[in-house]
Structure 1
Amino acid sequence: MHSPLALVSHAQADRPAAHRGTTHRRDDDLAVDIDTVSDHEAIIRGVDERSAFAAAPLAQATAQTEAHDSAANAFDALEHLVGVNLARLRAERQLSLDALARASGVSRAMLAQVESARSVPSIKVLCKVAAALKVSVSAFLRRHAVNGFEHLPAERAPRRVSADGRYSARALYPEDEPAAAEFHELRIAPLHTEPGTRRAPGTTVNLVVSEGTLEVSVHDRRQLLATGDAIVFDADQPHSLRNPGDTEARVFRVTRNAETPPRWDVPQAAPQTL
């Protein structure tokens, strides 16, 4: 005679293979098939993976749209800059749109569109307008010196002075925007040595002594300059300026900044799918 435990064990052993992974609760109607649950989880994972794959082209399209918007904003800024400069130049010469149209041969409607930043004229049109206003074409693209020149009064020019007051540098160019070259007037007190600031590779410095004497040190080499002498050296090297005389030295410095290649925001092509 079999024990109740043995009967239960035999009954489970005789169940079909499809039901051996079934977990039972007290009520048989609430039985859950673990294999079925695993199948559902696999289906859900597959849907998530397909959704992520479908979202990749959307991300690429979004990046391309943002790059296009950035280029459009830059173009709008150019329209505004040209328009503002044209309106200022015309107003300074007390010319009406009709008068400028007659002088340049460009229609009044086109001039009005340019001034209101609704159109960017061609180079040919800009040349005609520039000739009538007696300025260069680049005057329409500047944020300073729109008349072809800019007066920089000495009393208003910014001057950087060292802590001990024995060295000063005065900018002789507009400092509002980055420039390919910098122009400074230097004043160095007697027997004072001013260490130079090392710049990026490719930057060059040109010094001309206007008054007094100057000793230039580049690494361990020294060069003495008298009034009227000039020197050119690479500014990425350690260097210093020393006034060996008993009177103030006045020096003009031109710094040519290193050229850097432009960086273009080129939209990446969408990945190819097989």
Structure 2
Amino acid sequence: MDINKVIGENLKRIRKEKKMSMARLSELSGISKGMLSQIENGETNPTINTIWKICSGLDIPYTALFEEEEAETVTIIKKDQVSLQNLDDNASLYLYYGDTNQRTFELFQMEIKAGQEHKSVGHSLKSEEYIMVLEGNLKMVIDDKEYDLAADDAISFDANQEHTYINTGSDLLKFVLIIYYK
């Protein structure tokens, strides 16, 4: 699977379905027309922030750009088959299930290196985030409040606000992250 090709094809299809010009999407997302063109043609590997901005401009869920057609009613997904987004040098996001017409949630596994953090600007669509820690220690900062979680702990919150994931442990932090769209 060439993820850049999938992103590009979905971006072009969704933009055209919304009857949106490249110039208009550029205005709404803050991404240059040249960069949008490169993404649509699968010529570049967009950053997670670029994808969030594009999705915000299109008013679509983040994973809408990663979707591939599902043909089977039973699907097994192995970690080496999922799309990976390196959020930065310290965090990785694995997309297992994206939002579809039949599914109003996205399911990810996130990994953050020891002592590192990742900040999310919040999601463009009205949504809730559900997290369950698999391994390690997670400190969530939401609306300037801190919440400490260990393995098997869970938290949920309004995902439209800025929030930060911090690995406070000495090992790799792994957690399941579900974004539910209302």
Pick the aligned partner of 1:163 from 88, 103, 115: 88
Amino acid at match of 1:150: T
Pick the aligned partner of 2:74 from 140, 149, 155: 149
Amino acid at match of 1:162: L
- C-alpha separation in 1, matches of 2:70 and 2:145: 40
| Structure 2 SS opposite 1:171 | strand
Pick the aligned partner of 1:237 from 141, 151, 161: 161
Larger Rg: 1
Identity over aligned pairs, percent:
20
Amino acid at match of 1:144: E
2:111–2:172 CA contact under 8 A, matched in 1: yes
Aligned residues: 113
Alignment of 1:1-274 (within 5 A): 143-146=69-72, 148-164=73-89, 166-173=90-97, 177=100, 179-200=103-124, 202-258=126-182
| Structure 1 SS opposite 2:141 | strand
RMSD: 1.8
Amino acid at match of 2:158: D
- C-alpha separation in 2, matches of 1:237 and 1:202: 10
TM-score, scaled relative to structure 1: 0.39
- C-alpha separation in 2, matches of 1:235 and 1:150: 28
Amino acid at match of 1:188: I
- C-alpha separation in 2, matches of 1:201 and 1:144: 24
Deviation at 1:151, TM superposition (A): 2.1
Structure 1 unmatched ranges of 5 or more: 1-142, 259-274
Q: Deviations over 1:192-211 (max 9, x none)?
A: 11001311363000000000
- C-alpha separation in 2, matches of 1:163 and 1:199: 18
> Which protein is richer in strand relative to its size?
2
Deviation at 1:162, TM superposition (A): 2.6
- C-alpha separation in 2, matches of 1:241 and 1:250: 11
1:264 alignment counterpart = none
> Which protein is richer in helix relative to its size?
1
Residues 199 and 156 (structure 1), Cα distance of their counterparts in 2 relative to 1, 3 Å cut: same
| Structure 2 SS opposite 1:155 | helix
TM-score, scaled relative to structure 2: 0.57
